Amino acid sequence: MSYPVYDSSIPNDYLNAIEYDMPGISTLVEQNKSSGESWMDSLAKLLPNLVNTYQQKQLLEVQIDRARAGLPPLDTQQYSTGINVGLSPDTQKMIMFAALGLGALFVLSRMMK
């Protein structure tokens, strides 16, 4: 089988395996490839979005199956791999009050001189 890949450095066996696992991927990569970009670089750029789409599709199927069975939806937040970045709202409040207190002490010390 022939795929629309113009990068001769990729063996046909690899292309067949990739196309078998992800039908239509070679066409998608070619459509999104920038000029001067290799086929593998374009694939690497697309993969995170493709994986995310696949995972969302699987999750949607699970949620639909649960709804059909009369079960509540899964709370996906407890399974997410996200990392909390930044300060929690309580920590932000504590830092704000500490800064206001230090500012007030500074102003009072200046007024006492």
pLDDT at position 16 is 80
DSSP 8-state assignment for residue 4: S
Nearest to 18 by CA among 49, 32, 39: 39
pLDDT reported for residue 79: 64
Mean pLDDT to the nearest integer, 24-38: 83
Percent of the chain with pLDDT over 70: 83
Q: What is the mean pLDDT of residues 30-46?
A: 84
pLDDT-above-90 percentage for the chain: 12
Six token digits for residue 98: 């500490």
Specify the pLDDT at position 2: 54
State whether residue 51 is helix, strand or coil.
helix
pLDDT at 70: 95
Higher pLDDT, 86 or 33: 33
Q: What is the pLDDT of residue 61?
A: 92
Region 25-51: mean pLDDT is: 84
Q: E strands within 1-109?
A: none
